[in-house]
C-alpha cells in the first residue's frame, strides 16, 4: 500500500520516519517529484532502483537541507561555493569529488568517485530532509525512461503500490529537472540543461563545456537518448500537422481542430517548462484513447529554459530501441 500524505508538518514527520526506517517516499521539489530514500542506507537506496526499474549504473542526486552539510560530503571548491550561495536552494545540481571515506551508499553514486548534490527549494523537501536527519537520494519519481512527474497524481499513475508513501504538495513550479553542472572536470561541464538557465551560470563560471546533446557520449548515464518517452511518437519543430496528429503548441497556435495542448499561449518559457510534462502526459493518454497517431511539437526557442524544454522533447522524440 502506498500512503498518501498531505504537506502538513505532522504528515511530513511521519514520512521522515519512513525514510529513517529505510522506506521510500515521493515528495515534491520545485523541479519534479523525487523518490527519496536515506542516501546512507544501501538497502533503502536499492528500493529506489527497484521501484523505478532503473539501471544500477545510473547514479542518483543526493539532496541536502543546508550548504555546510553538503560540503561535509563533497569537495568545497571556490566555484562550487560561489554557485551554492547564489543558486541554492534551487534547481542546480553540482557534480563534485566525494570526500573519502564517504558515508553515502556507493549504490547511490554508482561507485563513482564523484557525487551529484543539490538543495531543493520547497518547504516539504527541506522539512523532510531536516526531520529525517539524513541526506536523501532522490531521482525523479517515475518509472525509468518515462515522463517525469510534476504532480502527486503523476507519481501515483507510475509508481502506486511500488513505494511506501507520497507527500502531495501540489504541482511543481519549475516543472523541469535541475540543471546538472559537473565541476569535477577542469572546465565546468553542463551534463543536463534544467531549471537554472545556462545564461545565469556563465557570468560566474566563465566558459562552460556543453555535453548534453543526445548524439554525444553519455557522461550522465541517465542521459540515454530515449527518455521522458510518451507511448505515442513525437515529431519536433513542426509547422504543419500530418493527418491524425495531436498538437503540442507554443505561442499563438497554428490552426488545428483536433487534440491540442498549449505550453504557453504568450510564448513564456517559464510557463512552458511548468506545463511541459503534464501536457505531454495529457496528449499521450488522451491521444491513445481517441486513436491519434502521434504528437507534433511546434518550434521552441533554445534560450533560457527553452534549452531544457528542447532537451526533454528531443529525448521524448528519440528512437526507442536502446
Binding site for Mg ion (CB under 5 A): 140
Query: Minimal CA–CA distance to 165: which of 30, 315, 297, 35?
Result: 35
Q: Whose Cβ is closer to ligand TXA: residue 66's or residue 299's?
A: 66
My answer on whether omega of the bond before 110 falls inside 30° of 0, hence cis, is no
Q: Interface residues for ligand TXA in 178-217 (CB under 6 A)?
A: 178, 180, 191
Q: Whose Cβ is closer to ligand TXA: residue 223's or residue 262's?
A: 223
Q: How far is CA 30 from CA 13, 99, 194, 220, in A?
A: 20, 28, 12, 21
From the CB of 286, what's the least distance to ligand TXA, in Å?
25
- CA-to-CA distance for 152 and 172, rounded, in angstroms? 9
From the CB of 142, what's the least distance to Mg ion, in Å?
6
What string marks each residue from 11 to 50 as x (binds ligand TXA by CB under 6 A) or -? ------------------x-xx-x----------------
From the CB of 266, what's the least distance to ligand TXA, in Å?
25
Answer positive or negative: Cα dihedral of 31, 34, 38, 39: negative
Q: Whose Cβ is closer to ligand TXA: residue 7's or residue 262's?
A: 7
Residue nearest to ligand TXA (CB): 222
From the CB of 140, what's the least distance to Mg ion, in Å?
3
From the CB of 114, what's the least distance to ligand TXA, in Å?
4
Q: Whose Cβ is closer to Mg ion: residue 114's or residue 140's?
A: 140
Q: Whose Cβ is closer to ligand TXA: residue 4's or residue 224's?
A: 224
DSSP type of residue 199: H
> Of these partners, Mg ion, ligand TXA, none, which one is at the site of residue 249 (CB under 5 to 8 Å by kind)?
none
- CA-to-CA distance for 228 and 159, rounded, in angstroms? 15
> Of these partners, ligand TXA, Mg ion, none, which one is at the site of residue 149 (CB under 5 to 8 Å by kind)?
none
Query: Minimal CA–CA distance to 20: which of 40, 2, 4, 50?
Result: 40
**DSSP codes of every residue in 267-295:** --HHHHHHHHHHHHHHHHHHHHHHT--EE
Do the beta carbons of residue 119 and residue 65 sit within 8 Å? yes
Q: Interface residues for ligand TXA in 81-140 (CB under 6 A)?
A: 91, 93, 95, 109, 112, 114-116, 120, 138-140
- CA-to-CA distance for 248 and 142, rounded, in angstroms? 22
Amino acid at each position: 500500500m502506498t500512503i498518501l500524505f498531505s504537506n502538513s508538518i505532522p504528515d511530513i514527520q511521519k514520512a521522515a520516519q519512513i525514510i529513517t526506517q529505510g522506506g521510500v517516499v515521493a515528495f515534491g521539489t520545485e523541479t519534479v517529484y523525487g523518490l527519496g530514500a536515506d542516501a546512507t542506507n544501501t538497502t533503502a537506496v536499492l528500493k529506489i532502483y527497484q521501484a523505478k526499474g532503473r539501471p544500477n549504473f545510473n547514479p542518483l542526486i543526493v539532496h541536502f537541507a543546508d550548504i555546510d552539510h553538503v560540503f561535509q560530503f563533497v569537495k568545497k571548491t571556490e566555484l562550487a561555493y560561489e554557485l551554492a550561495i547564489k543558486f541554492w536552494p534551487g534547481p542546480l545540481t553540482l557534480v563534485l569529488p566525494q570526500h573519502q571515506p564517504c558515508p553515502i551508499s556507493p549504490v547511490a553514486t554508482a561507485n563513482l568517485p564523484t557525487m551529484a548534490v543539490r538543495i531543493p527549494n520547497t518547504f516539504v523537501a527541506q522539512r523532510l530532509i531536516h526531520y529525517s536527519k539524513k541526506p536523501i537520494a532522490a531521482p525523479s519519481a517515475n518509472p525509468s525512461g518515462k515522463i517525469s512527474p510534476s504532480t502527486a497524481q503523476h507519481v501515483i499513475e507510475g509508481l502506486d503500490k511500488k513505494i511506501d508513501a507520497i507527500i502531495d504538495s501540489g504541482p511543481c513550479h519549475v516543472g523541469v529537472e535541475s540543471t546538472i553542472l559537473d565541476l569535477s572536470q577542469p572546465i565546468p561541464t553542463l551534463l543536463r540543461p534544467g531549471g537554472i538557465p545556462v545564461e545565469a551560470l556563465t557570468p560566474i563560471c566563465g566558459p562552460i563545456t556543453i555535453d548534453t546533446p543526445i548524439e554525444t557520449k553519455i557522461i550522465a548515464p541517465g542521459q540515454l537518448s530515449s527518455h521522458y518517452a510518451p507511448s505515442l511518437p513525437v515529431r519536433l519543430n513542426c509547422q504543419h500537422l500530418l493527418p491524425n496528429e495531436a498538437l503540442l503548441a507554443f505561442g499563438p497556435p497554428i490552426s488545428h481542430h483536433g487534440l491540442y495542448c498549449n505550453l504557453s499561449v504568450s510564448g513564456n518559457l517559464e510557463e512552458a517548462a511548468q506545463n511541459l510534462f503534464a501536457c505531454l502526459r495529457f496528449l499521450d493518454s488522451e491521444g491513445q484513447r481517441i486513436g491519434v497517431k502521434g504528437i507534433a511539437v511546434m518550434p521552441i526557442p533554445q534560450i533560457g529554459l527553452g534549452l531544457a524544454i528542447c532537451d526533454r522533447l528531443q529525448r521524448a522524440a528519440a528512437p526507442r530501441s536502446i
